[in-house]
């Protein structure tokens, strides 16, 4: 029988979690978050709060993933919880928005940091503005903007897709190497800055004079949380590979908790390092905050070294995401005539080869459709809707399938999943409200959350057509 092999060890599981989470967000988002909050203490709190909430979501997902340790992750247990229709909508959204946009946006940062060493070609502003299209009630998309960055991003996605097409062992081995390099990069950055004596502890307590207050501060905090959630995104990728993990009932909970808790500690310390050498106003105005912080600590060579390490880090995250996310597209193709080819396992390499290629193709289209912030904001909104539905599913299955054996039970039940669902609900509503306000105020050309919703809901007529052509749905 042509099926996946269980070749992923606990060490590789942890490497995929850490490698998939620590990528671009910690290097790209702090400056925007600092401008939104205006307070170093609030900036630090956002990373801790987002990490704790993500951990709640991960613990909830562990219970489901160990109950149904099959390749495809949430697609598999959404079938059990909500039925085939909802599972299809998730699979469609994962393919059309969250997974492929995630791969695109992380690789996009690798290409942007390449500009630190070599200026990538781009068209004049007039040319960039000349090729565009407008989606009613959504916004305008400029296809030629940052053309050189986009071309390099596509090349990176295609190269890493090729590695993972050849086999899980190859992709896993590359991931362990890249994750090890990434952890070294974080240690160098944190230690080198905090022990440089080039900063000031007073920066931690000094807020911006234009800091918001009242509801405006709440809205800014939620917007900053969206950026932090992007940086933590990827913690659930290991569940996509459940059918290929050795001893999944043991490895998935340990890998998720160890990997994600490590990321929370690293993120808190690295932001503390930024704040130590850069006042909050400097962080707000920085395009390469990690490089700027390292330059202050180590001189001119510091910026170059960190820029290179950022590129290695984002390369590792892109590989981890490409390796994992194709499994959802594969699960979508099983038993579905419209996506049947994506649901095939390569007879020699034992990988979802055609799902990998399909993801790479769609990621490339998304790369040319938008910028880094547009892609991340769009996918965070959609991803967190389904994260909330996963946690809600834990409660539903405790009632619906109460006698089924659970190798792992979420700690703090029912408080942990209930708190997670409640927060996700508030987060989604406030994010949509903020996006609409920004669009009306002409501070954003696109309502990113609404665009993500539209692309997701296109899955409904696609599912309807699938039912007409496939009696198994």
Average pLDDT over residues 250-264: 91
Most confident of 119-128, 153-162, 331-340: 153-162
Distance of CA 230 to the CA centre of its chain: 5
pLDDT for the residue 45? 94
Most confident of 191-195, 305-309, 392-396, 461-465: 392-396
Per the DSSP assignment, residues forming a β-bridge with 133 are: 141
pLDDT band at 394 (very low <50, low <70, confident <90, very high): very high
Tokens 């959802």 label which residue?
Answer: 328
pLDDT band at 1 (very low <50, low <70, confident <90, very high): very low
- Which are the contacts of 202, defined by CB distance < 8 A and separation ≥ 6? none
Average of per-residue pLDDT values in the chain: 85
- Which are the contacts of 155, defined by CB distance < 8 A and separation ≥ 6? none
pLDDT band at 471 (very low <50, low <70, confident <90, very high): very low
Q: How far apart are the first and last CA of the chain?
A: 23
pLDDT in tens, 352-383: 999 999 999 999 988 887 655 566 667 778 88
pLDDT in tens, 436-469: 887 777 666 667 778 788 888 888 898 888 776 5
pLDDT for the residue 207? 79
Q: Whole-angstrom Cα distance, residue 25 to residue 226? A: 11
Percent of the chain scored above 70 by pLDDT? 92
Percent of the chain scored above 90 by pLDDT? 23
Average pLDDT over residues 248-271: 91
Distance of CA 298 to the CA centre of its chain: 31
Q: Does pLDDT of 267 surpass 50?
A: yes
Q: Whole-angstrom Cα distance, residue 473 to residue 470? A: 6
pLDDT in tens, 44-73: 999 999 999 998 888 888 899 889 888 888
User: Tokens at residue 11, please?
Assistant: 């060490």
Q: Whole-angstrom Cα distance, residue 35 to residue 328? A: 36
Q: Whole-angstrom Cα distance, residue 253 to residue 232? A: 17
Q: Does pLDDT of 96 surpass 50?
A: yes
Q: Whole-angstrom Cα distance, residue 338 to residue 340? A: 6
Q: What would the 3-class secondary structure string for the chain be?
A: CCCCCCCECHHHHHHHHHHHHCCCHHHHHHHHHHHHHCCHHHHHHHHHHHHHHHHHHHHHHHHHHHHCCCCCCHHHHHHHHHCHHHHHHHHHHHHHHHHHHHHHHHHHHHHHHHCCCCCCCCCCHHHHHHCEEEECCCEEEECCCCHHHHHHHHHHHHHHHHHHHHCHHHHHHHHHHHHHHHHHHHHHHHHHHHCCCCCCHHHHHCCCCCCCCHHHHHHHHHHHHHHHHHHHCCCCHHHHCHHHECCHHHHHHHHHHHHHHHHHHHHHHHHHHHHHHCCHHHHHCCCCHHHHHHHHHHCHHHHHHHHHHHHHHHHHHHHHHHHHHHHHHHHHHCCCHHHHHHHCCCCCCCCCHHHHHHHHHHHHHHHHHCCHHHHHHHHHHHHHHHHHHHHHHHHHHHHHCCCCCCCCCCCCCCHHHHHHHHHHHHHHHHHHHHHHHHHHCCCCCECHHHHHHHHHHCHHHHHHHHHHHCCCC
Q: Does pLDDT of 425 surpass 60?
A: yes
The CB density around residue 1, as the number of other CB atoms within 10 Å, is 3
Most confident of 26-30, 294-298, 448-452: 294-298
Q: Whole-angstrom Cα distance, residue 348 to residue 165? A: 10
Q: Which CATH class is domain 10-469?
A: mainly alpha
Per the DSSP assignment, residues forming a β-bridge with 139 are: 135, 446
Q: Whole-angstrom Cα distance, residue 138 to residue 378? A: 12
User: Tokens at residue 125, please?
Assistant: 């502003």
pLDDT for the residue 386? 92
pLDDT for the residue 374? 63
pLDDT in tens, 217-239: 888 888 888 888 878 888 888 88
> Which of 359, 363, 350 lies closest to 167 in space, CA to CA?
350
Q: Whole-angstrom Cα distance, residue 282 to residue 275? A: 9
User: Tokens at residue 279, please?
Assistant: 């006042």
Phi, psi of 393 (to 5 degrees): -65, -30
Q: Does pLDDT of 135 surpass 70?
A: no
Q: Does pLDDT of 276 surpass 90?
A: yes
Q: Whole-angstrom Cα distance, residue 471 to residue 473? A: 5
pLDDT band at 265 (very low <50, low <70, confident <90, very high): very high
pLDDT band at 269 (very low <50, low <70, confident <90, very high): very high
Q: Whole-angstrom Cα distance, residue 202 to residue 309? A: 28
Q: Does pLDDT of 388 surpass 90?
A: yes
Rg (CA), the chain: 21
pLDDT band at 158 (very low <50, low <70, confident <90, very high): very high
Q: Whole-angstrom Cα distance, residue 384 to residue 54? A: 10
């Amino acid at each position: 029988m042509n099926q996946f092999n269980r070749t992923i060890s606990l060490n590789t599981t942890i490497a995929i979690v850490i490698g998939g989470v620590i990528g671009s967000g910690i290097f790209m988002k702090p400056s925007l978050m600092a401008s939104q909050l205006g307070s170093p203490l609030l900036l630090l709190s956002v990373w801790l709060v987002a990490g704790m909430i993500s951990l709640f979501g991960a613990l909830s997902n562990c219970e489901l993933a160990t109950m149904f340790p099959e390749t495809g992750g949430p697609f598999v247990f959404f079938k059990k919880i909500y039925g085939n229709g909802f599972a299809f909508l998730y699979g469609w959204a994962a393919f059309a928005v969250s997974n492929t946009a995630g791969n695109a946006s992380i690789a996009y940062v690798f290409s942007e940091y390449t500009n630190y060493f070599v200026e990538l070609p781009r068209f004049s502003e007039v040319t960039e503005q000349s090729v565009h299209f407008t989606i009613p009630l959504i916004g305008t998309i400029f296809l030629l903007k940052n053309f050189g960055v986009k071309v390099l991003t596509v090349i990176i996605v295609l190269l890493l897709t090729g590695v993972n097409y050849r086999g899980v062992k190859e992709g896993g081995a590359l991931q362990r190497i890249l994750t090890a390099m990434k952890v070294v990069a974080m240690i160098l950055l944190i230690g080198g800055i905090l022990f440089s004596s080039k900063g000031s502890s007073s920066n931690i307590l000094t807020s911006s004079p234009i800091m918001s207050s009242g509801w405006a501060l709440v809205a800014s905090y939620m917007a900053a949380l969206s950026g932090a959630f992007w940086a933590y995104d990827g913690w659930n990728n290991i569940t996509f590979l459940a059918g290929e993990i050795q001893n999944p009932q043991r490895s998935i909970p340990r890998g998720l908790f160890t990997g994600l808790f490590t990321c929370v500690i690293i993120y808190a310390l690295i932001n503390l390092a930024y704040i130590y050498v850069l006042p909050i106003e400097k962080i707000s105005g920085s395009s390469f905050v990690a490089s700027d912080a390292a330059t202050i600590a180590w001189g001119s060579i510091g910026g170059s070294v960190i820029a290179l390490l950022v590129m290695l880090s984002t390369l590792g995250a892109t590989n981890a995401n490409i390796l994992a996310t194709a499994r959802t597209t594969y699960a979508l193709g099983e038993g579905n005539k419209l996506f049947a080819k994506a649901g095939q396992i390569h007879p020699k390499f034992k990988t979802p080869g055609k799902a990998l290629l399909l993801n790479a193709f769609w990621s490339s289209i998304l790369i040319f459709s938008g910028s880094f912030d547009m892609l991340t904001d769009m996918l965070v909104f959609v991803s967190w809707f389904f994260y909330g539905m996963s946690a809600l599913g834990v409660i539903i299955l405790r009632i619906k399938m109460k006698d089924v054996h659970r190798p792992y039970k979420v700690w703090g039940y029912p408080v942990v999943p209930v708190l997670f669902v409640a927060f996700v609900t508030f987060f989604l509503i406030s994010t949509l409200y903020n996006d609409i306000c920004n669009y009306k105020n002409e501070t954003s050309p696109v309502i990113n959350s609404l665009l993500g919703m539209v692309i997701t809901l296109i899955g409904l007529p696609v599912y309807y057509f699938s039912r007409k052509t496939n009696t198994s749905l």
